[in-house]
Structure 1
Amino acid sequence: MIKTTHAGPHLRILAVCWEGGGNVPPTLAAVRALAGRGHDVRLIADDTMSAEAIEAGARFLPWKRAPNRPDRSSESCFLRDWENADPLTCFQRACERIFVGPAQSYAEDILDALATEPADILLGSDLLFGSMLAGEVAKIPTALLASNISLWPLPGHPPFGPGFQPARSAADRARDAEACAMAEQGWDVFLPRLNAARAHFGLAPLAHVPEQRLSAGRHLLATSSRFDFPAERLPDPVRYVGPLLEMPGWARERWTIPPARGMRPLVLVSFSTTNQGQADVLQRVIAGVAGEPVEMVVTLGKALEGLRLQAPANVTILPNAAHDDILIQARAVVTHGGHGTIMRALHYGVPLVVLPMGRDQNDNAARVDYHGAGLRLDPSAPPRMVGEAVRRVLSEPGFAERATALGRAIAAEGPGPARLVAEIEDFVLKSSQSALSIT
């Protein structure tokens, strides 16, 4: 057991992250909030995050044994979504290369950091099973941060992945049960690897991979309960803390619409900060919306900034733009459905057209559709259908009204960073009290 101490209100926190694109800003927002509260925060993560972590107030530690990306280029990406459009293959690759396969390496790096300096809490990742494993080995209070909706189905929710709406019939419930069983089988392909890592640390084997998450005492969801589907109840460890919106460190380009072109509706097009093979989708979106009487701004992100796209006169392509400046003026957003992009759009009351391409995007799109805050299209939709969808969200006031109402409801829950800090502090306090009662 690695000894941990809690000295007064100032906590020593070891946070972890991996370079997965959309999960990075929420982690940095958490680091910034905790450090701003006066806590001592170390972040162990890929080298890509070093400068941003330090700027946010953390002391940075790089992964040594575990996978570590030196930059955000497509060449250094471990997941390489664009090489295979099949969601199952993408999931298996992510499990093999990041989530479960290197669990022992991630755990060893985390345990080294804890041995060098004790901590009061480990803030792990809901996708890094090595962080869960390290917390169990070290016997340290462990909270898992989910950068968006829950990876694990909540009571009354459909399973993560396919983008289902909540079940309304016996057939829907059978569908959900079948999908859950298939998901568990998918995870359990990697059970021998996880149990081998557990055996290395002297822990008993698990029957299923998802059981590893039960070793953590808190699961913090960096999304809004108002955005999510209604839950019958929340399992005791699960807490909504609200969106953790942090502008990526590379998004520094500022843009305002030229006055001569400001009379037409502005449409923001944003398809991820990582390469998911979205060049073809982006080109079809441009072709579909370019024929509409709008101004369009397309932001690319770090991994796509060299992408060459054909753009007519009413389209501006920006490599590394800050979305807030654009969303203040935008009337619609066309996106792949990343959680951060959707939360920012709703914050400004901007309706969406979502073409999900994988990861959490199907499920985010399902929630936008559920709340009537936009439209969902298949990513293979032809330009004509994209143009029609954009025309609808611009011309039918209900979409903007519902997006504005949902954005206000999310804001009314309170700021995510402050809620996360409160949950962390409460969790450590209760863990300390529990430990004292046992002794």
Structure 2
Amino acid sequence: MSHRTYLFVLTDAGGTVPPEMGVVRRLVDRGHRVTVLADDPLEVPALTAGARFRPTTGRVTKPFDDWAIRTPPGIARGMAEHMIVGPAPVQAADTVAAIDELRPDLVVVSSFAVGAMIAAESRGVPFDLLMPNTYALPAKGMPPFGVGLAPAHGPMGALRDRAFGAAGRRLFDRFALEPLNAVRTDHGLEPVATMWNQMQHARRQLVLTSAAFDFPAELPANARYVGPVLDDPSWAADVPWTPPTGDDPLVLVAMSSTFQNHVECLQRIADALGDLPVRGVVTTGPAVQPGAISAPANVTVVASAPHREVLRHASLVVTHGGHGTVIKTLAAGLPLVVLHHGRDQADNAVRVTERVAGVAISRRSSSQKISRAIARVLGDDRYRQAAARLGEQVAADAAGTALLDELESAPLARDPLG
């Protein structure tokens, strides 16, 4: 096998970091040369994965408090300004400099790293797009992203999807298309008709989930389901953990690794566990201090724990519905109770409930309603059986070679000994 040179240009979107760094680690383990270009907070995860790290010249991924925004236009504007086109000029310049110095065979980018995509195009280097969630771009048969809808049926369902898709495209183009095309022009490229076209220029769209978890749709020819990456984040992977004593079912509570104004929700979940004959383990992650949660006697609250280890002992997971937590839970054959907060979480929740692998309730639910949902799933073996069936395919896809097969199929752009 010829060793290749890869340049990863990654943005810090919280839960996307562990799977993307997992991709980096797998290539390093295969002997490839990998450099990560990103903001300073990703330096430690990149070095831990074995890659070289190259810092951006200015902060590319800016803080975005999406939880505080209540309207779709506000969300679209915020994403455009903070995550997509706002960072694009700096990101494009940094990526051009890195390409010219490193001469990579392939540039691999986070979903919204449009500046890096433009830079790769302008230098004639192919780029692959990482999607560490379900398929997020418009596709025939796929429910619109971020809305939490089940697949449509019949002519009215197709009309629903077209209407939602067109509205979403217009909304993002309203804030992102003109500045995106300005960056393309600065780098000698023709304008695109819609923001989504930029993502469609990828050599491969690598969907880091299982096709069995996503809904079936007509994806473009360059899209590939390559299986999920189940790595724990670097800040939790090596934390010592032992299960709490007792024989009652263990319930893991794993919410967002970034702040989503979810402290009150965590408290209501902890209170709900206090009313049940279970052993509760609440991991708050870096966004919330454990002391912010008042724990009943049967609940342990910790900043972090290796979820891979905890899931070996668990019977159920209560979560906000982030893709990483959901897919790890299913791979372990466990059902879920999902209290989705935003982003892609409603989409993940409906994929769970459509497969009867758990239930979804409002994040504003009372502790009594949360308690009833947990008891319902623990007391009905159909949820565990459905989760186990789905989890078998998820785990098989995670253990497969599709991801590396696709990344290593990129043609060598230079003398491999050079």
What band does the TM-score fall into relative to the shorter chain?
Answer: over 0.9
1:256 Cα shift? 2.4
Deviation at 1:427, TM superposition (A): 3.2
Contact map agreement 1:222 1:241 (CA 8 A) in 2: yes
**Which residue type is aligned with residue 51 of structure 2?**
A
Counterparts of 2:356 and 2:71, CA distance in 1: 28
1:302 to 282, 286, 299: 286
2:66 aligns with: 81
- C-alpha distance in structure 1 between counterparts of 2:71 and 2:302, whole Å: 29
What is the distance in 2 between the residues matched to 1:36 and 1:338? Answer: 27
Deviation, 1:88, is: 4.6
Q: Distance in 1 between matches of 2:139 and 2:368?
A: 37
* SS of equivalent residue, structure 2 residue 287: helix
Matches within 5 A, 1:135-150: 135-150=120-135
Deviation at 1:428, TM superposition (A): 2.7
TM-score of the aligned structures, taking structure 2 as reference length: 0.94
Does residue 170 (structure 1) correspond to residue 163 (structure 2)? The answer is no
Distance in 2, matches of 1:158 and 1:410, equals 21
Distance in structure 1 (CA, Å) of the matches to 2:3 and 2:199:
27
Which residue in 2 is equivalent to 1:182? Answer: 167
Would you say 1:280 and 2:264 are equivalent positions?
yes
**How big is the shift at 1:168?**
1.7
In structure 2, do the counterparts of structure 1 residues 377 and 428 end up closer, same or farther at CA, with 3 Å as the change threshold?
Answer: farther
* 1:106 counterpart = 2:91: yes
Aligned to 2:210: 224
Contact 1:53 1:59 in 2 (8 A): yes
Paired with 1:160 and 1:98, the residues of 2 have a C-alpha distance of 17
Counterpart Cα distance in 1 of 2:240 and 2:315: 18
Kept in 2: contact 1:354–1:375 (CA 8 A)? yes
Deviates most, 136-145 or 148-157: 148-157
Alignment of 1:261-276 (within 5 A): 262-276=246-260
Is residue 220–residue 241 contact of structure 1 (8 Å, CA) maintained in 2? Answer: yes
Q: Distance in 2 between matches of 1:306 and 1:91?
A: 32
Aligned residues between the structures: 412
8 Å Cα contact 1:135/1:216 also seen in 2: no
Match of 1:24, as an amino acid? V
Q: Which residue of 2 aligns with 1:313?
A: 297
Counterpart CA distance in 1 for 2:318 and 2:249 is 13
Stretches of structure 2 lacking an aligned partner (at least 5 in a row)? none
Q: 1:62 aligns with which of 55, 58, 66?
A: 55
Provide, for residues 4-28 of structure 1, a one-character-per-residue CA deviation record: whole Å limited to 9, x for no partner: xxxx711011011111111101111
Alpha carbons 1:223, 1:241 under 8 Å: kept: yes
Q: Partner of 2:5 in structure 1?
A: 12
Q: Does 1:193 find its partner at 2:179? A: yes
Whole-angstrom CA distance in 1 between matches of 2:312 and 2:117 = 39
Alignment check: 8 A CA contact 1:296 1:316 kept: yes
- Do the aligned residues in 1 keep the contact of 2:118 with 2:187 (CA within 8 Å)? no
Are the counterparts in 1 of residues 48 and 234 from structure 2 also a CA contact under 8 Å?
no
Per-residue displacement from partner, 1:122-178 (whole Å, max 9, x unpaired)?
111222111221121111011111111121033311110101000023333222222
Match of 2:411 in 1: 428
Is the 2:141–2:158 contact (alpha carbons within 8 Å) kept by the matching residues of 1?
Answer: no
Name which of structure 1's ranges 56-65 and 418-427 shifts more when overlaid on structure 2: 418-427
> Letter of the aligned partner of 1:375 in structure 2?
V
Report what 1:382 is aligned to. 366
Q: Is the 8 A contact 1:81 1:277 kept in 2?
A: no
Helix, strand or coil: the match of 2:364? Answer: coil
**SS of alignment partner, residue 367 of structure 1:** helix
The within-5 A match list for 1:201-212 is: 201-212=187-198
Work out whether 1:118 is the aligned partner of 2:103. yes
Equivalent position of 1:154 in the other structure: 139
* C-alpha contact 1:266 1:294 (8 A) present in aligned 2: yes
Tell me if the contact between 1:218 and 1:427 (Cα under 8 Å) persists in the aligned partners: no
Calculate percent identity across the aligned residue pairs: 40
User: Which ranges of 4 or more aligned residues in structure 1 deviate by more than 6 Å?
Assistant: none
Residue identity matched to 1:105:
V
Q: Does 1:246 align with 2:246?
A: no
Deviates more, 1:158-167 or 1:82-91: 82-91
**Amino acid paired to 1:392:** R
SS, match of residue 302 in structure 1? coil
Q: 1:258 to 1:297 in 2, by over 3 A?
A: closer
Of 367, 388, 394 in structure 1, the residue corresponding to residue 378 of structure 2 is 394
What is the SS of the residue equivalent to 2:146? coil
- Segment drifting more, 298-307 vs 242-251: 298-307
Aligned mate of 1:130, from 97, 115, 128: 115
User: 1:361 is matched with which residue?
Assistant: 345
Contact 1:333 1:353 in 2 (8 A): yes
Distance change (3 Å), C-alpha of 1:45 and 1:295: same
Which stretch shows the higher mean deviation, 332-341 or 378-387?
A: 378-387
Quick one: distance in 2 between partners of 1:388 and 1:40?
51
CA drift at 1:104:
1.7
For 2:304, the aligned partner's letter is N
Calculate the aligned-residue CA RMSD, in Å.
1.8
Question: 8 Å contact 2:228–2:397 — kept in the other structure?
Answer: no
Change (3 A) 1:226 1:122: same
Q: Which whole-Å CA distance do the structure 1 matches of 2:385 and 2:170 have between them?
A: 42
User: Which residue of 2 is the match for residue 73 of structure 1?
Assistant: none
Please give the alpha-carbon distance, in whole angstroms, between the structure 1 residues aligned to 2:158 and 2:373. 30
